[in-house]
Structures are given as structure tokens and as C-alpha cells.
Amino acid sequence: MTLPGYQTYSPPAPPRRSTLARSSQVLGIAGLVGLVLCLVGMIPALVGVVLGAVSLVRREGDRRPAIVGVVCSSLALAVGAAALFVLLSKAAQCGDETRYPDDTSRRNCVEREFPFAQADRT
């Protein structure tokens, strides 16, 4: 019971935290780091974009982690797509039979364009 003119004290509510927003942020950062590992980071980045977009649409709690997650995930997807495009265009160039008619010349092209993918010949 309170006296007239007085109000009871209620502590402020803690800020609402969104699990989807935090997950999006973590997956976006993991996607950027994962690009180093043969473009594996594109998978968590794709999931991060989806989770961040869902969190933003639902207008859950703290929006900052969702925005960071969407931006990092989108950046990881853009960089990964560009790298994948460059690698596939080089592979298609080496597979062109009019430019490289025999197997040896195509193999030399692959070794020249992809020095990191040297196969052991035994």
C-alpha cells in the first residue's frame, strides 16, 4: 500500500537482447574470417544475412548487432562472390580448347594460374 502522492519504486527494465541479432553478428564476423579458408565463410554469411534481416523485420530489442551482422555478412558474400567469379573465370580460360588444344598446355595454364593448387606427381 502506498500513501497518497507517493509512487512505488520499480527498477528500469533491462534492455531486450535479440538472440537473432547476436547470432547474425557472430555469423557475419565468422563469415569474414572464414573467407580465408577456401571461401567457406560464404555459408555462415548467408545464414547471417537471413537472421539479421529477420531480426530487423521483427524489430526486436537492440538493432545494432543485427545491422552489424547484416553488413558483415553482406560484405563477406560480396568478397566471396567476387573471388569465386575470378577463380571460375580463370578455370574456364584454362579449359578453353581453342586456346589450349592439348592436355599439356591446359595443365601448364592451370599450374601458372593456380600456383597454390600444385598436385604431387609421383
pLDDT at 38: 80
Domain ranges of the chain: 86-115
| Per-residue exposure over 5-26, b if at least 16 CB sit within 10 Å of its own CB, e if not | eeeeeeeeeeeeebebbbbbbb
- Rounded to 5 degrees, what angle do the CA atoms 86, 91, 97 make? 140
The residue with greater pLDDT, 78 or 104, is 78
Predicted local confidence at residue 87, as pLDDT:
86
Grid coordinates representing 57 are 523485420
Helical H segments across the chain, by residue range:
19-34, 42-58, 64-94, 103-113
Band of pLDDT at residue 59, cut at 50, 70 and 90: confident
- pTM: predicted TM-score of the whole model, two decimal places: 0.73
The 8-class DSSP code of residue 13 comes to P
